């Protein structure tokens, strides 16, 4: 459906169909009418309960649903919500939409529980919650049997037909008090993201409190033989470097989007699965993901690249652990390595976790970053309040249909 609306040829082509002819339909901002959240609100169903072939794609060895696969579907679903929001009144009938939509970042994804039942259909719903000049924040919900299990917030970016420049989008104007509240919360998130963008976390020096934390770690790992000796691991702890798990991936054209780059949903899924391995081996049992945050796609990954992912356990607290996954693309022809993005995931385990200890200052900063991400998880809105969010399906009368967006195409 997305490919049809964009006028993209089916099948893989090393040189995609030229879309330059659509640039003449590129709209001006003043030509675009305002839109409300109800205009983009829609839903879809993943037929796990009734289709064995669909169920097999989503089941993991524990018998529960693969959360990475859910995130991959949400990435494509977010693109479809962008299509529902965009309205070009001057676009001639039969002309493809002169836009390209890309995943800019995943602000956060929260999970009430990660043990989704594979024998019950999964319902997705979502809507636009904020718009900038060319960016679109999408809020999405995941339910089973009417029970809310997850909420995710994606930020998409609109580009022109050939992905060479930003494209204007319809301004979002709240249509009622409920939408006003949602929009206000989204605006606050947008302002926070702008502050982080102006001063990335990697360039923020440790606070006075964090400097004390690093010094305390140094004292605890200090060798009994003196400062110049190798650090010693305290009792009931593990070195951060020993938690590292690496994965090298050969993506294929089926993993691409319509821009012939690797889909953001595929990257999220594989990174989540790599972090799940690191977390489960650390726990000694399958870990359950609770929170995903700050997934920023800094650079696109070309379809002819290889991908390496490295997952670390960077922080632990009681029965929680914080993982960090770095994603690097390797040019298949030159061997050049390019850092593309990092992901942070919070897991919960059945037992209390050993404390993870950094050996170097570099790892110490990762530990501090893990602490910050864990605090964000703790301070996040109560998951029980999710059902209060989002326009009512009774009010919007959304299109409900079996999900056809699970092919990773945008």
* pLDDT tens-digit readout, 298-320: 888 888 889 999 999 999 999 99
What are the C-alpha distances in Å from 371 to residues 12, 314, 325, 327, 395? 43, 8, 15, 21, 41
Q: For residues 336 and 397, state if they share a domain.
A: no
Q: For residues 192 and 320, state if they share a domain.
A: no
> What CATH number should be reported for the domain holding residue 229?
3.10.129.10
Q: What's the rounded mean pLDDT across residues 44-70? A: 90
Q: What is the pLDDT of residue 102?
A: 92
Question: Tokens at residue 26, please?
Answer: 């590129």
Q: What is the pLDDT of residue 402?
A: 41
What are the C-alpha distances in Å from 126 to residues 39, 199, 371? 11, 30, 30
Share of the chain above pLDDT 70, in %: 88
Domain span at residue 106? Answer: 1-198+381-410
Q: What is the pLDDT of residues 340-381, one digit of tens each?
A: 888 999 999 989 999 999 999 999 999 999 999 999 898 874
Q: What's the rounded mean pLDDT across residues 57-83? A: 91
Q: For residues 119 and 67, state if they share a domain.
A: yes
- Contacts (Cβ under 8 Å, ≥6 apart) of 84: 39, 40, 41, 42
Q: What is the pLDDT of residues 19-35, one digit of tens each?
A: 888 999 999 999 999 99
Q: What is the pLDDT of residues 264-303, one digit of tens each?
A: 899 999 999 999 999 999 999 889 999 998 888 888 888 8
Distance (Å, whole) CA 347 – CA 324: 11
pLDDT confidence tier of residue 403, bands split at 50, 70 and 90 = very low
Q: What is the pLDDT of residue 391?
A: 52
Q: What is the mean pLDDT of the chain?
A: 87
- Contacts (Cβ under 8 Å, ≥6 apart) of 35: 85, 87, 128, 170, 171, 172, 173
Beta-sheet pairing, 122-131 with 42-46: antiparallel
Q: For residues 218 and 172, state if they share a domain.
A: no
Q: Which helix (H) or strand (E) holds 41?
A: none
The 10 Å Cβ neighbour count of residue 394 is 7
Q: What is the pLDDT of residues 173-194, one digit of tens each?
A: 999 999 999 999 999 999 998 8
For residue 172, how far is the Cα from the chain centroid?
A: 22
Q: For residues 194 and 70, state if they share a domain.
A: yes
Q: For residues 215 and 250, state if they share a domain.
A: yes
Nearest to 273 by CA among 296, 254, 284, 289: 289
Distance (Å, whole) CA 128 – CA 132: 11
- For the chain, how many structural domains are there in total? 2
Q: For residues 167 and 307, state if they share a domain.
A: no
Q: What is the pLDDT of residue 205?
A: 86
Three-state secondary-structure class, residue 11: coil
Q: For residues 154 and 219, state if they share a domain.
A: no
Residue 143: pLDDT over 60: yes
Selected residue with higher pLDDT from 407 and 327: 327
Q: What is the pLDDT of residue 316?
A: 96
Distance (Å, whole) CA 160 – CA 167: 5
Q: For residues 46 and 142, state if they share a domain.
A: yes
Q: What is the pLDDT of residues 72-127, one digit of tens each?
A: 999 999 999 999 999 999 999 989 999 999 999 999 999 987 678 889 999 999 99
Q: Which residue has the tokens 């003196």?
A: 226
């Amino acid at each position: 459906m997305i490919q049809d609306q964009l006028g993209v040829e089916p099948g893989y082509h090393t040189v995609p169909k030229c879309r330059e002819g659509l640039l003449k339909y590129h709209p001006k901002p003043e030509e675009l009418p305002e839109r409300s959240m109800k205009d983009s609100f829609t839903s879809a169903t993943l037929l796990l309960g009734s289709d064995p072939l669909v169920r097999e794609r989503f089941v993991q060895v524990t018998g529960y649903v693969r959360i990475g696969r859910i995130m991959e579907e949400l990435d494509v679903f977010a693109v479809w919500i962008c299509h529902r929001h965009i309205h070009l009144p001057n676009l001639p009938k039969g002309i493809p939409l002169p836009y390209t939509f890309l995943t800019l970042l995943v602000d956060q994804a929260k999970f009430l529980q990660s043990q989704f039942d594979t024998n019950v259909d999964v319902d997705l719903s979502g809507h636009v919650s904020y718009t900038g000049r060319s960016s679109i924040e999408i809020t999405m919900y995941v339910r089973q049997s009417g029970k809310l299990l997850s909420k995710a917030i994606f930020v998409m970016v609109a580009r022109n037909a050939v992905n060479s420049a930003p494209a204007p989008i319809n301004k979002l104007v709240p249509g009622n008090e409920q939408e006003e509240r949602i929009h206000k919360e989204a605006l606050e998130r947008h302002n926070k993201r702008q502050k982080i963008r102006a001063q990335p976390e990697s360039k923020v020096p440790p606070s006075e409190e964090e400097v004390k934390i690093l010094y305390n770690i140094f004292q605890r790992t200090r060798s009994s033989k003196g400062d110049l000796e190798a650090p010693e691991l305290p009792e009931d702890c593990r070195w951060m470097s020993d938690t590292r798990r690496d994965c090298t991936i050969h993506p294929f054209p089926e993993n691409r989007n319509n821009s012939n780059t690797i889909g953001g949903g595929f990257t999220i899924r594989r990174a989540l699965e790599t972090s799940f391995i690191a977390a489960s081996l650390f726990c000694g049992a399958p870990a359950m993901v609770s929170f995903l945050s700050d997934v920023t796609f800094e650079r696109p990954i070309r379809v002819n690249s290889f991908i390496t992912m490295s997952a670390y356990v960077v922080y632990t607290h009681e029965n929680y652990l914080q993982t960090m996954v770095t994603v690097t693309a390797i040019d298949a022809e030159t061997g050049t390595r390019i850092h593309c993005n990092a992901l942070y995931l919070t897991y919960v385990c059945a037992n209390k976790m050993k404390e993870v200890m950094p050996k170097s200052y570099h790892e110490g900063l990762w530990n501090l970053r893990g602490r910050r991400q864990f605090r964000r998880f703790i301070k996040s809105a109560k998951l029980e309040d999710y059902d209060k969010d989002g326009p009512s399906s009774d009010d919007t009368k959304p299109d409900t249909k079996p999900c056809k967006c699970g092919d990773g195409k945008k």
